Structure 1
Amino acid sequence: MKKIGAGRQLAVCVAMSCLALIVIFFLHKPPYAASLLTGLPLHYQVGIGLGFGCCYWAASQIGYRFAANSESAKSTMESYSRLNLDGWNPLWISLAAGFGEELLFRGALQPLIGIWITSVLFVVAHTKAYRFNGLNKRVAIQAAGIFVVSVVFGFVAEYIGLVAAMLIHALTDIVGLYTIRGIACKTQS
């Protein structure tokens, strides 16, 4: 099976960004850039994003030690095994997802339909990636986790700023993908 590379992920996120810009242009009121850059000053957003990313890294390292053999952890590993995580791909995939998805979901859709409906759409958008092919315990746990993460991103975007949400999303994905790559390397050796 051919692995999904960074190019495909980048293309999907460029498409999401284009869709976001269309939604913003046609359904939001001007000034468009100002509405996307609301929140705390940029340096605070970056600091909060980096701080959250470091906390997430620590929590993921601890959490993995306790949940490594859980059904959800194994399923997540299987889902992400379809990605080409060689070289810098985890970084590029994560940056593309963090910025593209947050621009669409938090920047374009959330101001129109709110955090909760946006979070439901966020889960639906991740259905294929997480292989939600039926309702069972694993799917319910993963979908609930994605929903909660989306709600957190939504509140971050609303009360701190979109840039912080983008950065936190990207860092969360970077940590996750490099963790998965590290685990895959250990299991192959």
Structure 2
Amino acid sequence: MSKWKVYLLGFATLLMAPLGWLLCGMPEISDFLQLEQLTGIWTGIGAEYGIVFGIFMLIVTNTETARKSFSVQHQLIRSMQLNIADILFLSLCAGFGEEILFRIAIQQWLHPVLASVAFVAIHGYINPKDWETTKYGLLVCLFITVLSYAISGEQGLWFCIAAHASYDFVLFYFWGRVQGSM
């Protein structure tokens, strides 16, 4: 995949944020983005949570069966030939755009667990015809469900964004570099 397509993908994901803002009725930006929480302790804890869960997923999916189940994702990520800046960009775009759209906007209409399942299913990790992929998708559901409840707790939006971005960073980094294993 060419670099311009990689960055186009990142920008497209980032555009989910203004879509979420529109779906919420265009509230005041500082309130909508919970900017007062950006530099709080929960943002750092969210980043740590994402890293730990990302490493956990690398460990539990490091089997022959899991490598087969995720071979398409691994090949796609490797084809992008991502460097650290690319990985950081894509991870931040996904963390920011997807969390705003799903946690703030879509969760207005869906229960947090349903929003979590929808989020994981859209990413292709729930497949009734592929139990191997689905069982790992259920683990991802656990991660996302924590975010779904954290958004309305004291942890807030930036915990969710940091957790999502750091989780993606771990997976992009290792899946894009490690050949033959996860």
TM bin, normalised by shorter chain, reads: 0.7 to 0.9
Quote the residue 1:143 is aligned against. Answer: 137
Contact 1:85 1:177 in 2 (8 A): no
Contact 1:77 1:180 in 2 (8 A): no
Q: 1:153 aligns with which of 143, 147, 153?
A: 147
In structure 2, C-alpha distance between the alignment counterparts of 1:158 and 1:23, rounded to whole Å: 18
Which digits, 9 at most, give the CA deviation of each residue in 1:77-133, with x for residues without a partner?
431321314223222111111111101001211233231221122023212xx594x
Percent of counterpart pairs with the same letter? 22
Residues 11-30 of structure 1 aligned to structure 2 (within 5 Å): 11-25=11-25, 30=27
SS of the equivalent of 1:158 reads: coil
Q: 1:46 aligns with which of 43, 47, 52?
A: 43
Gaps in structure 1 of 5+ consecutive residues: none
Contact 2:74 2:176 in 1 (8 A): no
Q: 2:31 aligns with which of 19, 34, 54?
A: 34
State the superposition RMSD in angstroms: 3.0
Gaps in structure 2 of 5+ consecutive residues: none
Quote the residue 1:104 is aligned against. Answer: 101
Contact 1:39 1:158 in 2 (8 A): no
SS of the equivalent of 2:82 reads: coil
> Relative to structure 2, which stretch is displaced further, 72-81 or 98-107?
72-81
Residue 166 (str. 1) matches residue 161 (str. 2): yes
In structure 2, C-alpha distance between the alignment counterparts of 1:108 and 1:124, rounded to whole Å: 18
In structure 2, C-alpha distance between the alignment counterparts of 1:158 and 1:25, rounded to whole Å: 18
In structure 1, C-alpha distance between the alignment counterparts of 2:98 and 2:172, rounded to whole Å: 16
State the number of aligned residues.
Answer: 176
Distance 1:57 1:116, change over 3 A: closer
Quote the residue 1:86 is aligned against. Answer: 82
